[in-house]
Structure 1
Amino acid sequence: MNSKKIFIIEDDNMTIEILKFIFTKEKYDVYVSKDGLDAIEKIPEILPDLVVTDILLPMKSGLEIIQFIKTNYPTMPVMALSSLGEEEATVADAFNLGVDDFIAKPFNPKELLLRAKRYLK
């Protein structure tokens, strides 16, 4: 089984269900965490092929997750999700920390999948 692993870090149940649907339909293995602390503990166990993280999360922020991943797993691709209207500075911070892609919510599922597939080849 060589299925790619996608780790979704998101605290909104509706967004989780949409993302799970998009990725499982494409036969990816999907893992979910609802807070940043739990996510940071699971990353070394899962070693995902792609991380999709929200920026605003309980316990630890998406920015802290990006920093953890890029410090410890520099080649692991990370896509950040953020609601429209969140601070532009946050987007800049995410890129400064090494995030690979940034998608605004609400997102277009087809576009999100196309972008994700770039990192899953």
Structure 2
Amino acid sequence: MDGKNILIIEDDPKIRRLLKLYLEREGYEVVEAENGEEGMEAFQMFDPCFVITDLMMPKLSGEAFCKWIRGELKSDIPLIMLTAKITEAERIEGLKMGADDYITKPFSPQEVVTRVNTVLRRTANRCSKISYKGLTIKPLRKEVKYNGAMIPLTQHEFKLLYFFMRHPNQILSREQILGELYPNEEKAVIDRTVDVHMGKLREKLESTNDAPCFFETIRGMGYRFVAY
């Protein structure tokens, strides 16, 4: 599940911390919000791949958040609702609002992880992207965003970033990178070409003040995309 980021909207900090712990153990990146209003802001900023939301929350309810996601944004992002409501009619109403699953409290954190994995397997085509540390790439739409802001990349820069994000924390040699960028060309393309592409890509991704260092240069070996 590397590269899958999940937004948890829950006003109980203990539940948020527990779910975050279990989901991160499973390899997910977790973004937290304590009410529906914060959830809307986090959704727009981090563009999550999955949402887990409580229903009864201050400021903006889970129902209102779900209607905003499905109605105003017309997003089909996978979504699980958490609630203390237990009647069949209420569960059915939640599913009608657009939830992919409905979990009643109290629950086992491991059950939530299992449900998330199950829903993601069923809705894999609805999450065609990879995200790390606020950086998101959507290969089908050819989009790259950092904290919600679009980053314009050339065709080669996009291809290069996608290659690295599919192999997080791995050292990729210049030869591997050249093979990815120019699969049908021989040694006419020199190693220096890789350094030029990497320099331009790093400049675009790391130009903002709050952006982390996404790449490491490993002397004599190549480059690594840092996903932790």
TM bracket (short chain)? 0.7 to 0.9
- The alignment covers a number of residue pairs equal to 119
- After superposition, residues 42-61 of structure 1 pair within 5 angstroms as 42-61=42-61
- In the alignment, the residues of structure 2 paired with residue 90 and residue 46 of structure 1 have an alpha-carbon distance, to the nearest angstrom, of 30
Contact 1:53 1:81 in 2 (8 A): yes
Q: Percent identity?
A: 31
Choose between structure 1 and 2 for higher RCO, CA contacts under 8 A separated by at least 6 residues. 1
TM normalised by structure 2 equals 0.49
Corresponding position of 1:99: 99
- CA shift, 1:90, in A, is 3.9
Decide which structure has the larger Cα Rg and report it.
2
Contact 1:77 1:100 in 2 (8 A): yes
Gaps of 5+ in 2: 122-228
TM normalised by structure 1 equals 0.88
Gaps of 5+ in 1: none
Q: Residue 75 in 1 paired to residue 41 in 2?
A: no
Q: Residue 34 in 1 paired to residue 31 in 2?
A: no
Q: CA RMSD for the aligned pairs?
A: 1.7
Corresponding position of 2:65: 65
Q: Does the C-alpha gap of structure 1 residues 97 and 6 become closer, same or farther in structure 2, counting only changes over 3 Å?
A: same
- After superposition, residues 81-120 of structure 1 pair within 5 angstroms as 81-85=82-86, 89-120=89-120
1:41-80 Cα offsets, whole Å, 9 max, x none, are 2212211111000000110000011111112143201100
